[in-house]
Amino acid sequence: MRRAFLFFIPQHFTGKKYLMKHFLNTQDWTRPELDELLKQAAAFKTSKLGDQLKGRAVALVFFNPSLRTRTSFELGTFQMGGHAVVLAPGKDAWPIEFELGSVMSGDTEEHIAEVAKVLSSYVDLIAVRAFPKFISWDEDRQDKVLNSFAKYSTVPVINMETITHPCQELAHALALQEHFKTSDLRGKKYVLTWTYHPKALNTAVANSALTIATRMGMDVTLLCPTPEYVLDQRYMDWAKTNVAENGGSLSVSHDIASAYQDADIVYAKSWGALPYFGDWEKEKPIRDQYKHFIVDEAKMALTNNGVFSHCLPLRRNVKATDGVMDSPNCIAVQEAANRLHVQKAVMASLIKQ
Question: Which lies closer to ligand CP via its Cβ, residue 198 or residue 313?
Answer: 313
Considering CB under 6 A, how many residues would be counted as binding ligand CP? Answer: 9
User: Rounded to an integer, what distance in angstroms lies between the CA atom of residue 309 and that of residue 173?
Assistant: 11
Question: Which lies closer to ligand CP via its Cβ, residue 189 or residue 319?
Answer: 319
User: Rounded to an integer, what distance in angstroms lies between the CA atom of residue 144 and that of residue 162?
Assistant: 9
> In 247-331, which ranges are continuous DSSP H helix?
256-260, 280-287, 297-300, 322-325
Bridge-based pairing of strands 157-159 and 83-87 is: unpaired
User: Rounded to an integer, what distance in angstroms lies between the CA atom of residue 16 and that of residue 10?
Assistant: 7
Told to check if 161 binds ligand CP by CB under 6 A, we report yes
Told to check if 120 binds ligand CP by CB under 6 A, we report no
Question: Which lies closer to ligand CP via its Cβ, residue 311 or residue 325?
Answer: 311
Kindly give, in sequence order, each residue whose CB lies less than 8 Å from that of residue 248, ignoring residues fewer than 6 positions away: 186, 214, 216, 217, 218, 219, 220, 242
Question: Which lies closer to ligand CP via its Cβ, residue 66 or residue 253?
Answer: 66
Q: Mapping DSSP to helix (H, G, I), strand (E, B) and coil, where does residue 116 land?
A: helix
User: Rounded to an integer, what distance in angstroms lies between the CA atom of residue 313 and that of residue 267?
Assistant: 13
User: Rounded to an integer, what distance in angstroms lies between the CA atom of residue 121 and that of residue 116?
Assistant: 9
Q: Which range binds ligand CP by CB under 6 A, 76-84, 231-239, 296-304, 311-319?
A: 311-319
Question: Which lies closer to ligand CP via its Cβ, residue 124 or residue 161?
Answer: 161
Q: How far is the CB of 183 from ligand CP (least distance, A)?
A: 23
User: Rounded to an integer, what distance in angstroms lies between the CA atom of residue 151 and that of residue 49?
Assistant: 32
Q: How far is the CB of 4 from ligand CP (least distance, A)?
A: 32
Bridge-based pairing of strands 125-129 and 57-62 is: parallel
Q: How far is the CB of 287 from ligand CP (least distance, A)?
A: 21
Interaction residues for ligand CP, span 189-228 (CB under 6 A) = none
Q: How far is the CB of 331 from ligand CP (least distance, A)?
A: 14
Question: Contacting ligand CP (CB under 6 A), which of 153, 168, 203, 211?
Answer: 168
Told to check if 169 binds ligand CP by CB under 6 A, we report no
Told to check if 334 binds ligand CP by CB under 6 A, we report no
Q: What share of the chain is helix, strand, coil (3-state, %, to 5)?
A: 45, 15, 40
Question: Which lies closer to ligand CP via its Cβ, residue 24 or residue 256?
Answer: 24
Interaction residues for ligand CP, span 60-79 (CB under 6 A) = 66-69
Told to check if 264 binds ligand CP by CB under 6 A, we report no
Told to check if 311 binds ligand CP by CB under 6 A, we report yes
The number of beta carbons lying within 10 Å of the beta carbon of residue 77 is 24
Told to check if 312 binds ligand CP by CB under 6 A, we report yes
Q: Which parts of this chain interact with ligand CP (CB under 6 A)?
A: 66-69, 161, 168, 311-313
